Amino acid sequence: MQYNISELARMIDHSLLHPTMTDKDLEEGVRVAIEYKTASVCIKPYAVKKCAEWLKGTDVLVCTVIGFPHGSHTTAMKVRETREACELGATEIDMVVNIGKVLSSDWSYVEDEIRLINTEAVKHGAILKVIFENDYLKDEHKIKLCQICSSIPVAFVKTSTGYGYTKGEDGKFSTKGATVEDCRLMLAHVAPGVQVKAAGGVRTLDELLRMKELGVTRIGATATAAILEEAKRRNGETTNAVVSKDVSGY
């Protein structure tokens, strides 16, 4: 089987969000995205302007996060974050829902917030991806969020931040991130035209292909180089030794 490397790369938002990533790490990560021609670079908010400069003249888009990672900022603050990000060069916005409000079933608050942020993004020519953080939610919450996002409508619904850690009985923290079950559920409950992004734990070619098979059209990944080099290897192509810095989280 031959893999279309360009098509696979265009599914990837190359994630540069880990808190320990330095300015040098970010610049190197942007170079990886340019080399592989990913859909976007999803970068920490403070680096949006610099990222836009690094990506100038390429087809790779600038993405950033809003209310990250827990979604608890005020709505007004999230709208201001969105406006500033767009003014600095972001064309894709990944915002985290207010998780506590979702769990409280305060759907009016949740819908109003998503609508306001979407309006702000669209006004600046950007698209919105709404992050659910599924590790914390029941299926009923995920379905309701799909319905809300479909009614607005937003461009994408997204499984996770990649940093939604829950504490187990042993006291250790872990995250599931993007699961096949959740992606299948979200795909079944969004309106036509609303796409699904899987983020958190998609680190291999086979995992990406499984998501693609389900109908997921975008993934968040730190392991971009490893994924695409494996596709090249299976195609019998010459591979590149470059491997991006893969950190825990995405």
| pLDDT tens column, 105-150 | 999 999 999 999 999 999 999 999 999 999 999 999 999 999 999 9
DSSP 190: S
| CB count in 10 Å sphere of residue 178 | 26
**For residue 221, pLDDT beyond 60:** yes
pLDDT of residue 9: 98
Q: List, by residue number, the catalytic residues.
A: 94, 158, 197
Q: Tokens 């997204």 map to which residue?
A: 158
Q: Read out DSSP for 44-67? A: -GGGHHHHHHHHTTSSPEEEEEES
pLDDT, tens digit, 9 for 90 and up, residues 30-62? 999 999 999 999 999 999 999 999 999 999 999
Q: Which two tokens stand for residue 131?
A: 């992050």
Which residues lie closer than 8 Å to 184 by C-beta, 6 or more apart? 214
At residue 176, the pLDDT reads 76
Q: Are strands 166-167 and 61-66 parallel, antiparallel or unpaired?
A: unpaired
pTM for this predicted structure: 0.93
pLDDT greater at residue 40 or residue 174: 40
Confidence of residue 162 (pLDDT cuts 50, 70, 90): confident
> Which residues on adjacent β-strands are paired with residue 93?
64, 128
Model confidence pLDDT, tens digit, residues 233-249 = 999 998 875 554 555 45
Residue 250 confidence class, pLDDT cut points 50, 70, 90: low
Average pLDDT over residues 199-221: 96
pLDDT at 83 over 90: yes
Whether 207 shows a pLDDT value over 80: the answer reads yes
DSSP assignment letter at 239: P
Give the amino acid at 104: S
Whether the predicted pLDDT of 196 surpasses 80: yes
Alpha helices in the chain (DSSP H): 5-9, 23-36, 48-55, 75-88, 99-103, 107-123, 139-151, 180-189, 205-214, 224-235
CA triplet 177, 205, 191: central angle to 5 degrees? 55
Mean pLDDT, all residues of the chain: 94
Tokens of 28: 């190197």
The pLDDT score that the predictor gives to residue 198 is 98
Cβ 47 vs Cβ 75: under 8 Å: no
- Which among 200, 93, 88 has a CA at the least distance from the CA of 156? 93
For residue 6, the model assigns a pLDDT of 97
Q: Is 5-235 a CATH 3.40.630.20 domain?
A: no
